[in-house]
């Protein structure tokens, strides 16, 4: 089985979010996919099989299969367009979140994802204790989204991941206005329930974050910065109930798995 490790939302290797991509002729047993994912020990491993003119795409974390992953979708599109189908300008993926399309726009890969509808929640002491800081607002869809006024609170945050694990929501997204004029917002993503302490750049998280900041800032095009230690930049656009996420990618490795 051929496997590619791609740094997604990255201008060069060692930035952005690494994802492993296995492009296969047929589906292996689910247990094997989970073992490969745990052996890779990355936040996501993507498995891809071509079905007709489209691809079937599944994402696994070390904690199990998930329903949506942005950076591993970008990584899969990069690997396919570079090594499998270099003439493709658009790739169509059937996933647990429905049909996802990825278009090549120069150096960028542009992904069409569903936007989450956020519901407000109470700011609780449990959330404050878990994050070590009290958010101004808390929202929930698939994930919890905690909003702060000061970007430095997000950048310097050291949450108690055991306490984060006990909260509602699949992942914890923390976000604040951007620093300077380059970025509209900053964010970080913590995913202890998925056995991922911090996701370096979370595409599906921005399907929560972009609708929030688009409404708050009164604009539909945003440049977002994931302020993890690796860091990554996403070029985002809200189109109704869809979020367009674009970014670059860099190839880290190509391997042959002995399975």
Residues 6 or more apart in contact with residue 218 via CB below 8 angstroms: none
Strands 185-191 and 221-226: parallel
Report the C-alpha gap between 131 and 161 in whole angstroms.
8
CA distance 248 to 235: 10
Q: Where are the beta strands (DSSP E) in the chain?
A: 2-8, 17-24, 45-51, 54-61, 64-66, 90-95, 98-105, 108-114, 119-121, 137-140, 144-147, 172-177, 185-191, 196-199, 221-226, 232-239, 242-247, 249-256
Q: What is the CA radius of gyration of the chain?
A: 17
Give the active site residue among 25, 39, 44, 239.
44
Q: In terms of Cα–Cα distance, which of 171, 205, 170, 169 is closest to 186? A: 205
Residue 44 bears catalytic tag: yes
Closest listed residue to residue 195, CA positions, set 84, 34, 32: 34
The DSSP 8-state label assigned to residue 178 in this structure reads P
Residues that are catalytic: 44
């Amino acid at each position: 089985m051929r496997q590619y490790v791609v740094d997604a939302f990255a201008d060069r290797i060692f930035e952005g979010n690494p994802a492993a991509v296995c492009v296969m002729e047929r589906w292996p047993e689910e247990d094997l996919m989970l073992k490969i994912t745990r052996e890779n020990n990355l936040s996501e491993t993507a498995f891809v099989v071509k079905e007709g003119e489209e691809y079937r795409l599944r994402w696994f974390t070390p904690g199990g299969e998930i329903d949506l992953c942005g950076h591993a979708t970008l990584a899969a599109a990069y690997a396919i367009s570079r090594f499998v189908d270099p003439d493709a300008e658009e790739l169509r993926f059937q996933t647990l979140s429905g049909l996802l399309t990825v278009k090549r726009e120069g150096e960028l890969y542009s992904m069409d994802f569903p936007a989450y509808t956020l519901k407000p929640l109470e700011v609780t002491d449990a959330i404050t204790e878990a994050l070590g800081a009290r958010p101004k607002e808390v929202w929930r869809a698939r994930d919890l989204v905690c909003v702060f006024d000061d970007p430095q609170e997000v950048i310097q945050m050291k949450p108690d991941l055991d306490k984060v694990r006990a909260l509602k929501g699949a992942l914890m997204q923390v976000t604040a206005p951007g620093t300077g004029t380059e970025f509209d917002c900053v964010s970080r993503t913590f995913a202890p329930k998925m056995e991922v302490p911090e996701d370096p750049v979370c595409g599906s998280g921005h399907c929560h974050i972009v609708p929030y900041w688009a409404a708050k800032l009164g604009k539909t095009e945003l440049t977002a910065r994931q302020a993890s230690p690796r860091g990554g930049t996403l070029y985002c656009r809200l189109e109704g109930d869809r979020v367009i996420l674009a970014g670059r990618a860099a190839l880290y490795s190509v391997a042959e798995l002995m399975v």
